[in-house]
Structure 1
Amino acid sequence: MTHKRILPILLVLAAVLQTTLMAQSRPDTTFKIFQFPADQIPRIDGDVSDWDMVPASYEIGTDQLVDDNGNYTEPDSSTLAVKVKVGWVEGMNRLYFLYEAEDDFWHFNETGLKNDTYEIVVDADLSGGPLIDRFHPNTRIGKWDAYFSFHGVHAQNYHIFTPPVDKDWTLAWGPQSWIKDLPYANAAYDFNFEHGDSGKLTLEFWITPFDYAGAEGPGRAVKSKLYENKLIGLSWAVLDYDEGGGQDGFWNLSAEHTMYGQASELVMFRLMTMEPEFKAPVEAAWDFKVIDMDRRMVAFQDESEGEITSWNWDFGDGNTSTEQHPIHQYEEPGLYVVVLEVEGPEGKDRLSKVWDVAVR
């Protein structure tokens, strides 16, 4: 084999290896992101009953965190106890979070950064690498050039204030502050305590992860695509301030403190398929693509769920097929009603699409 042929192969292998290692903190652990049914999307209102359907196996608690300040040999739930669940909805490029925390001293009476905080970092395409200005790999770039061209662009960091009394709900760390507002994010809190009190805080929110989120605004932004079984990089830290403003804990899900600015130090999360109890045993679904409009050729793609043993297509022009993924040629222009009926050991289902298929 010549060197000219070996080099491209090595480059491909290096790229695959790099993608595998991008989110490499805790390499033996992959956390789960719950898939909500499309008709049961959690309402962001502070009422957490929407999350009752999420199994306990999705919960990530204090026992999974590392005390980064070294004050404790293991997490001290008497000082701060947290529970987090993460969800997603197929077809919506959003990550939903439920954060519940009980603290012996809630600190939030200052207007600046010093506030009890839930800090999350997300890298949904596993691009990895640094994401804040001072970690820019080119040390010749000035701080402000790095900030406005690089900081938070390919992975995002949110300093979420718990609670955000007299301030915005989060600092989106970088020049793209628009990512923390609708239509890209939303949040709601429930708590009943004053600064310095103990008590419980509940926070529901969702964010939109971006493969590209530049300082110029959302016009050129690229949302991260979320789909079943996708792996993403995600981690969080819980900053716990106590009386006098000193930190009583800096709890990390990642084993690396600098995960706040290094996407390669995040933890792997998987976007899960829907739990069986929320799925119909057989559900018809299909899509199509016009592959040759001049010849009116349409390729149909079965996307049904469940154990399927037979497919029956009605193309709306008097023709049918029992193939799973048929290609059909229409003789005449028109708007067609196409129906797919599927059947299996656990039942049958049918899906009709009215006038989606159009040829001229």
Structure 2
Amino acid sequence: MKRLAPIAALLVLLATSGADAHQGELRFMFQFPAGLEPTLDGELDDWAFVPEVYYNRAENMFNQFGAPLDLSDFNSFQIWGYSLATNKVYFAFWVSDDAIHNTEKWSTTTDWDHTGGQFRSFGDESDEFQERWTGAQAQRYDIYAPTFASGGFYTKQYGQAWAGEEPFVMWGGKYTKGEVGNFEPAEMQGEVSITPFDDIHPDGPDASTEHQFAVNQIVGLEANWGDKDPDPGNYDDAYWSLFGGIGASSQADQFGDFLTAPLEPGLPTAVETSTWGQVKASFAAE
């Protein structure tokens, strides 16, 4: 019997499992073989062997303001991956924008154990409640890199600030065209690693619960890019999102679903003694 490709096999599994869905269609998180995780230097050649099914492209994103997509105004792709060896999630992106400035960013929200519910903006709750539970059981990470926000930070985790800093969030990125802050066309790319948590405690990592990845998990995610061409202070041009869930900034039920894929066939399982250059060259030669 012909062996099913990993993604096809997962679709069969989901059809019979009754897994709960959130917003939109299921997407897939690439599994990096041990030793082949990205180096976070801002060069996306570490991702060159990732199949197209894992690419999340602008033409499949949703504008929450309803304007039609114009790829000359905004274009992008994202890839989400994970590693069982490092227990980290990896996020690569490329963005082309006709008017880039330093308030545009990826606003990413995560719910690794897929429990849903409210995780920010608790209204009239006490200060103690807000401190403990904002960004605890689901998270919002703002990834400004490499645009360098005027506030001086490159990532921010709303609620539990330490979880948005090294070594829990790390990145590499660069401009490949243009520069920040001049409202002219530019292109940028970057790669990010995030340590996943099911519960982030204000007292730090020892008081928190790290999520443990496994194959065939469903995790909750959303990623948005505010394309604020006319006014850097307002989302009055477009707000592009992977799934289009309204209120995903504070409600994890509005996220979409990613499934952690098994290893793709034909990939190496370890770097062994090869240098990165040798590994990359071997893929280029095939």
Instruction: Using the TM superposition, give the Cα deviation of residue 279 of structure 1 relative to its aligned residue in structure 2, in angstroms.
Output: 5.6
Matches within 5 A, 1:188-227: 188-191=172-175, 192-195=178-181, 196-227=183-214
1:123 matched to which residue of 2?
A: 111
Matched, 1:90 2:84: yes
SS at match of 1:260: coil
* Larger Rg belongs to: 1
Matches within 5 A, 1:311-330: none
1:54 matched to which residue of 2?
A: 50
| Per-residue deviation, residues 247-302 of structure 1 (Å, max 9, x unmatched) | 3111122232201111111111011111111168xxxxxxxxxxxxxxxxxxxxxx
Residue from 234, 255, 261 that aligns with 2:250: 261
Instruction: Using the TM superposition, give the Cα deviation of residue 83 of structure 1 relative to its aligned residue in structure 2, in angstroms.
Output: 0.2
Residue from 229, 237, 240 that aligns with 2:224: 237
Runs of 4 or more, structure 1, over 3 Å off, are: none
| Per-residue deviation, residues 20-77 of structure 1 (Å, max 9, x unmatched) | 44x5112xx211111111121111011111010101111001122111123x1x3222
Q: Which has the higher contact order (CA 8 A, sep 6+)?
A: 2
SS at match of 2:46: helix
Residue from 139, 155, 173 that aligns with 1:170: 155
Which stretch of structure 1 is more off in the superposition, 240-249 or 186-195? Answer: 240-249
d(CA) in 2 for partners of 1:86, 1:194? 25
Structure 1 runs not aligned, ≥5 long: 1-18, 109-114, 281-360
Residues 1:83 and 1:128: Cα distance change in structure 2 (over 3 Å) = same
What letter matches 2:54 in structure 1? Y
What letter matches 2:257 in structure 1? M
Which stretch of structure 1 is more off in the superposition, 210-219 or 123-132? Answer: 210-219
Residue from 65, 70, 73 that aligns with 1:69: 65
| Per-residue deviation, residues 131-186 of structure 1 (Å, max 9, x unmatched) | 10336xxx5x23x3332021110011011115115511112111x11112222120
What letter matches 2:155 in structure 1? T
d(CA) in 2 for partners of 1:238, 1:165? 14
Identical pairs, percent: 24
What value does the CA root-mean-square deviation take over the aligned residues?
1.8
What letter matches 1:228 in structure 2? V
TM-score norm. by structure 2 comes to 0.81
Structure 2 runs not aligned, ≥5 long: 1-17, 270-286
Contact 1:164 1:170 in 2 (8 A): no
Matches within 5 A, 1:1-360: 20-21=19-20, 23-26=21-24, 29-70=25-66, 72=67, 74-108=68-102, 115-134=103-122, 141-142=125-126, 144-162=127-145, 163-165=147-149, 167-174=152-159, 176-191=160-175, 192-195=178-181, 196-245=183-232, 246-247=234-235, 248-278=237-267
SS at match of 2:29: strand
d(CA) in 2 for partners of 1:51, 1:160? 19
TM-score norm. by structure 1 comes to 0.65
d(CA) in 1 for partners of 2:167, 2:128? 28
Residues 1:244 and 1:122: Cα distance change in structure 2 (over 3 Å) = closer
What letter matches 2:206 in structure 1? G
Structure in which a larger fraction of residues adopt strand: 1
d(CA) in 2 for partners of 1:230, 1:92? 16
Aligned length: 245
